């Protein structure tokens, strides 16, 4: 059965191989300025996905919690979101403001991402645009509450997903990748970009 969650739109093969390669070239500069990190969750577990960000704000996690912040943990500001990536947002997001954050997720062999909601942003009314590059990934989409039935689909290199409306707060995750299924990245693996409007930064909890 196809995914039929209001607000979930998939554009299979939206980026041709030339555009995929151009985005990867631009991401090499992002990763050179803001190296990929192996983040640790507030519960103390190291994530298997490596991450960095571009844009005004980047998403980070450590023992102090999940948040957006203006600097890479190394101290430098985040690099700008490449034009090749902003163009995808402009074509598909349906909104006229720029994203604040491009979260860059790298999945090496065996990496996965457990079911979660994206709710560290200040405003959930804006869409999220996700770009898949490299190896195929088994994506799982659930409901706005934990549990219930889920649906799975393979995301392939060049696919773009737009999450808006009810889908924006649905639980989702990546169960596994097919390491070596794409030749886009010479060393294999998968890159996923998520473009987000963060709005105002979430304030630390006041005791
Ligand atoms: C559904 N990334 O970075 S992208 C994430 O492939 C994340 O790396 C996955 O979940 C990945 O938070 C999935 C598809 C996606 C992105 C954002 C969403 C699905 C979403 C936000 C709300 C609902
Ligand atoms: Fe997510």
The whole-number mean pLDDT for each consecutive block of 10 residues of the chain, a chain of 207 residues, reads 74 98 98 98 97 98 97 98 98 97 98 97 96 98 93 97 94 98 98 95 51
Q: What is the pLDDT of residue 93?
A: 97
Cβ count within 10 A of residue 132: 28
Q: What is the pLDDT of residue 202?
A: 60
CA of 162 to the centre of ligand 1 (A): 10
Q: Can you tell me which atom of ligand 1 is nearest the CA of 103?
A: 3
Is the Cβ–Cβ distance between 151 and 141 less than 8 Å?
Answer: yes
Q: Which stretches does DSSP call E strand in the chain?
A: 8-11, 50-55, 58-62, 65-69, 101-107, 113-116, 128-134, 137-141, 151-155, 160-163, 172-177, 190-196
Residue with tokens 């473009």: 195
User: Given ligand 1 and candidates 127, 158, 172, which is best to mutate, with the most ligand atoms within 8 Å of its CB?
Assistant: 172
Q: What are phi and psi of 12, to 5 degrees?
A: -65, 135
User: What structural domains and CATH numbers belong to the chain?
Assistant: 3-196 (2.60.120.590)
Q: What is the pLDDT of residue 4?
A: 64
Pocket of ligand 1 from Cβ distances under 6 Å: 103, 105, 113, 118, 128, 130, 137, 161, 163, 167-168, 170, 172, 174, 192, 194
């Amino acid at each position: 059965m196809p995914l039929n969650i209001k607000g979930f739109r998939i554009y299979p093969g939206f980026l041709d191989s030339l555009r995929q390669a151009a985005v990867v070239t631009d991401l090499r500069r992002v990763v050179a300025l803001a190296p990929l990190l192996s983040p640790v969750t507030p519960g103390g577990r190291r994530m298997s996905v490596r991450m960095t960000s571009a844009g005004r704000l980047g998403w980070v996690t450590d023992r102090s919690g999940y948040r957006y912040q203006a600097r890479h943990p190394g101290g430098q500001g985040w690099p700008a979101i490449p034009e090749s990536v902003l163009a995808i947002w402009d074509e598909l997001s349906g909104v006229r403001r720029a994203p604040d954050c491009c979260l860059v997720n790298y999945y090496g062999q065996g990496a996965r991402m457990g079911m979660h909601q994206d709710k560290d942003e200040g405003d959930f009314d804006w869409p999220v645009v996700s770009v898949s590059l490299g190896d195929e990934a088994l994506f799982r989409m659930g409901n706005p509450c934990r549990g219930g039935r889920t649906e799975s689909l393979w995301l392939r290199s060049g696919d773009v997903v737009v999450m808006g409306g009810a889908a924006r707060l649905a639980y989702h995750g990546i169960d596994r990748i097919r390491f070596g299924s794409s030749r886009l990245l010479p060393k294999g693996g998968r890159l996923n970009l998520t473009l987000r409007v963060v709005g105002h930064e979430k304030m630390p909890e006041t005791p």
